[in-house]
Amino acid sequence: MDKPVNENQLDQFKSLIAKLFQCCQARMQYQSEKFGLPEAELRCLILFGQERYLTSKGIAIKMNVVKSRVTKVVQGLVKRGLIHRVPDPKDSRVSLLALTADGQRKIDKINQFIDSIHWEVLSRMAQEQRRTLLQNLDILSASMEAVKELMV
Amino acid sequence: MDKPVNENQLDQFKSLIAKLFQCCQARMQYQSEKFGLPEAELRCLILFGQERYLTSKGIAIKMNVVKSRVTKVVQGLVKRGLIHRVPDPKDSRVSLLALTADGQRKIDKINQFIDSIHWEVLSRMAQEQRRTLLQNLDILSASMEAVKELMV
DNA sequence: TTAGAATGGTTCACATCATGAACTTTTGGA
DNA sequence: TCCAAAAGTTCATGATGTGAACCATTCTAA
């Protein structure tokens, strides 16, 4: 009974996704500039919003990046005084990373900015529209996630 | 009358967008691997799907990249035998770039892959769902586009 | 209990992506 | 005709990322 995906839908979909992607990229570039941090360091810093202490390994997993890369990024953030190392009392191989006061302030400002951008996007539509949009995005993201798994 | 954006919606929205973005990124990495081309060269190659001839300048604009970068990318594609240069008869400063037969074959395969991925995502939902999704994405993309303009 | 495997990090070499300045050649306008 | 603008190239620099080699330290199994 269900009609198959047609050409038009496919093309429209491709172009919409491409636009969304570009907007996200532009936002990240902008915010890197605005806060004077390389994109990777900014992405790393944000992780500390969720957890008080992180290890290099943990960061590598969350950032989906190899551990030697994390070494570099963390060095950058330490040099900037945004995070600092504390030795892990349980295991002397690892050092725990945590925000400094400066880092906390920075992260607050960054999160505020990110929220404001997303808020701005949502606020341009009516409440009802927002609700259905989120429903649809949820379905889309599940579908994309599933296809991504096939792709490995 | 309209309720304002609430915390929950905002967080949900942020996380959905982040997921979509990651899926797109993963797809591009995968396809770069699959076709044995650096991401930038692949992105450049695809531009030739729309137009028969491109100049370095035109590529720079479409890729949103500085012209010296284009020089490098084009060199790569020429070295791989996927595109070739023809002198512009009107202006000897510019060389026109065009696909070789190999390049045409490559681009066909790549587009087929891209279509198949997008098709796969869409085909996981019912026709009616697809229709409303596309409508919603259209609204979203317009809104994001508008916010992006504010951001410059 | 102690040798050897596994784990957490660092360093280094390498590749890709990207910018900006300096430069060459050609074009086009005052 | 001369000079500014435009198209490309080259070069120096920096960010992002991988993978291999290497140290410590910790865990495990004979």
Question: Does residue B70 register a pLDDT over 60?
Answer: yes
Q: Which residue has the tokens 């990240």?
A: A28
CB contact under 8 A, A5 and B130: yes
**Contacts of B44 by beta carbon, 8 Å cutoff, 6+ apart:** B59, B63, B70, B73, B74, B77
In the prediction, which pLDDT does B1 show? Answer: 54
Res. B7 pLDDT band, cuts 50 70 90:
confident
Nearest to B129 by CA among B121, B141, B140: B121
- Residue A119, CA atoms < 13 Å, CB-side half-sphere: 11
Query: Please, what CATH class does the domain formed by A7-150 belong to?
Result: mainly alpha
- Among positive and negative, which fits the CA dihedral A75, A39, A69, B73? negative
Phi, psi of B122 (to 5 degrees): -70, -35
Domains of chain A, by residue range, sit at 7-150
Question: Does residue B2 register a pLDDT over 70?
Answer: no
In the prediction, which pLDDT does A1 show? Answer: 54
Q: What is the tens place of the pLDDT at every residue in A81-120?
A: 999 999 999 999 999 999 999 999 999 999 999 999 999 9
Q: What is the tens place of the pLDDT at every residue in A119-150?
A: 999 999 999 999 999 999 999 999 999 999 99
Average pLDDT over residues B3-16: 90
Which of B113, B114, B137, B138 would you mutate first to test chain A, the one with the most A CBs within 10 A?
B137
Count, residues in chain B = 152
Q: In chain A, which residues have their Cβ closer than 8 Å to the Cβ of B30? A: 151-152
Distance of C1' in C28 from CA in B77, Å: 32
Distance of C1' in D9 from CA in B95, Å: 13
Distance separating the N- and C-terminal Cα atoms of chain A: 32
Question: If you average pLDDT over every residue of chain B, what do you get?
Answer: 95
Strand D: list protein residues with Cβ under 7 Å.
A 32, 38-41, 63-66, 68-69, 72-73, 76, 91-93; B 55-57, 67-68, 70-72, 74-75, 91, 93-95
Contacts 24+ apart (CB under 8 A), A126-130: A126/B2, A127/B2, A127/B3, A129/B136, A129/B139, A130/B5, A130/B9
Question: Does residue A152 register a pLDDT over 90?
Answer: no
In the prediction, which pLDDT does B132 show? Answer: 96
Nearest to B114 by CA among B58, B31, B44, B50: B31
- The secondary structure of residue B52, as a DSSP letter, is S
